[in-house]
Amino acid sequence: MSEEINDDRRRLLATAAMTIAATQLGMIGSANAQSNKTLQLTIEGELPPLSSATEWLNSQPLTPAGLRGRVVLIDFWTYTCINWLRSLPYVRAWAERYRDRKLVVIGVHAPEFEFEKDIDNVRRAAKSLRVGYPIAVDNDHAIWRAFNNHYWPALYFVDAQGHIRHHYFGEGEYEQSEMILQHLLAEAGTDGLADELVSVDARGVEALPDWASLKSPENYLGYERTENFRSPGGAVLDQRRIYAAPARLQLNHWALSGDWTVEKGAILLNQAPGRIAYGFHARDLHLVMGPALRGRSVRFRVRIDGQPSGAAHGLDVDGQGNGMVTEPRLYQLIRQPKPIAERQFEIEFLDSGLEAFAFTFG
């Protein structure tokens, strides 16, 4: 993956939904005043060719010419991105509601990590996440570059003539986005669109974050982009080393204990047991990780403030704090009940051959 794409990641997106963002183009009325809403959407560009897709899932290859007469929503995603995962329930609902009303949703999967280039991993993730609309696999980021895109998630709204009329980056503004879709569908001649917008019941990793309690930003674990690593002596790059973790970590600091290799884009556990410790303040804690070898499983145990996670366990952990890494993906390890407070998190891996890539919070 290019340095440019790596650097772009989701820089603005962790805080985007906490602000009331002005639209990038045009004026949009209140979603609470449907009868008075006004849209002024100019032409931003043309839908680029999609022929550079590595592969298509859920569809034969689609082309701008073949999509004429249909409104198109392009959704850039990568399956471990927590920001995209939290937007998915809305995109999925729009695809279902307007599928027979001239809307085509296309998910462009532009991978961040190397394992996300594996088509079997993408196919498995799409099935697990119930992504049933067409997917253009963009392993070379050619479509990404054609759109001059920089973020996951990113939505591009294309009218029935193939003109890009609007775009939105990040989480949030779901009512606004659906109103734009309805506007473009009406332009395309779709009659009888209901005024009410979709209602979703997002659960698990797809649930909206607790922004008021979120004081921990995303952090990568590979040395290229990590921050606040606090094992004594620092990291030795690309070499095995026995690390130790301080007894307590400050907020958003992290450390290792055990036999690890700190690589450019990940950390690798060479010999079990091995631990990662993290000081955090958020309702949810997720870790992108996977077995270093396909087909292997890695057992783990989670503690929070030195105790089994109990009622604070995440979707991928039982009440005693136990879990299993079976494939490379995002794992939800903690979902705290209120009151949310600063906590000390620790995950202990009981088997070697574990790669960990990034922490995200919600």
Q: Give CA separation, 148 vs 141, 154, 235, 236, in Å.
A: 10, 11, 35, 36
Report the 10 Å Cβ neighbour count for 339.
6
pLDDT for residue 121:
98
Give the distance, in angstroms, between the CA of residue 93 and the centroid of all CA atoms in the same chain.
17
Same domain, 258 and 337: yes
Structural domain ending residue among the three candidates 153, 185, 206: 206
Using CA atoms, how far residue 198 sits from 174, 181, 195, in Å, is 9, 12, 10
pLDDT of residue 37: 52
Given this model, what pLDDT does residue 32 score?
31
Residues 261, 177 share a domain: no
Q: Are residues 176 and 229 in the same domain?
A: no
Same domain, 340 and 292: yes
Tally of domains in the chain: 2
Are 92 and 181 contained in the same domain?
A: yes
Does one domain contain both 185 and 50? Answer: yes
Q: What is the pLDDT along the chain (362 residues), one digit of tens a residue?
A: 333 454 445 544 443 443 333 333 333 333 333 333 568 899 999 999 999 999 999 999 999 999 999 999 999 999 999 999 999 999 999 999 999 999 999 999 999 999 999 999 999 999 999 999 999 999 999 999 999 999 999 999 999 999 999 999 999 999 999 999 999 999 999 998 877 899 999 999 999 999 999 999 999 999 999 999 999 999 999 999 999 999 999 999 999 999 999 999 999 999 999 999 999 999 999 999 999 999 999 999 999 999 999 999 999 999 999 999 999 999 999 999 999 999 999 999 999 999 999 999 99
| CATH classification of the domain holding 88 | 3.40.30.10
Retrieve residue 29's tokens: 């009325």
* DSSP, residue by residue, 228-297: -B-STT-PPBTSEEEE---SS--TT-EEEEEEEEE-SS-EEEEEEEEEEEEEE-SSEEEEEEEESSTT--
DSSP string for 177-202: HHHHHHHHHHHTT-----SSPP----
- Of 183, 206, 229, the position where a domain reaches its end is 206
Q: Helices marked H in 80-173 — which ranges?
A: 82-97, 119-128, 142-146
Q: Which residues contact 183 (CB under 8 A, 6 or more apart)?
A: 39, 41
Q: In what helix (H) or strand (E) does residue 223 lie, and over which residues does it extend? A: none
If asked whether residues 46 and 147 sit together in one domain, one would say yes
* DSSP β-ladder status, 103-109 and 45-46: unpaired
Q: What is the pTM of this model?
A: 0.90
Q: What's the alpha-carbon Rg for the chain, to the nearest Å?
A: 21
Domain end residue (candidates: 206, 226, 257): 206
200 shares a domain with 236: no
- Same-domain status, 240 and 126: no
Q: Do 54 and 131 belong to one domain?
A: yes
Same domain, yes or no: 50 and 127: yes
Task: Tell me what pLDDT residue 39 has.
Answer: 82
Domain span including residue 38 = 3-206
Q: Are residues 173 and 240 in the same domain?
A: no
pLDDT of res. 243: 99
Phi-psi region of 5 (alpha: psi -120 to 50; beta: other; left: phi over 0): alpha
Joined together, the tokens standing for residue 351 give 């088997």
CB 240 within 8 A of CB 270: yes
Q: Which value, to the nearest 10 degrees, does the dihedral of the CA atoms of residues 251, 255, 257, 261 take?
A: 160
In Å, what is the CA distance from 206 to each residue of 8, 29, 60, 130, 192? 22, 27, 28, 12, 30
- Half-sphere exposure for 184 (CA within 13 Å, toward CB): 29
Q: What is the CATH number of the domain that holds 247?
A: 2.60.120.260
Distance CA 150, CA 255 (A): 30
Q: Is 320 helix (H, G, I), strand (E, B) or coil?
A: coil
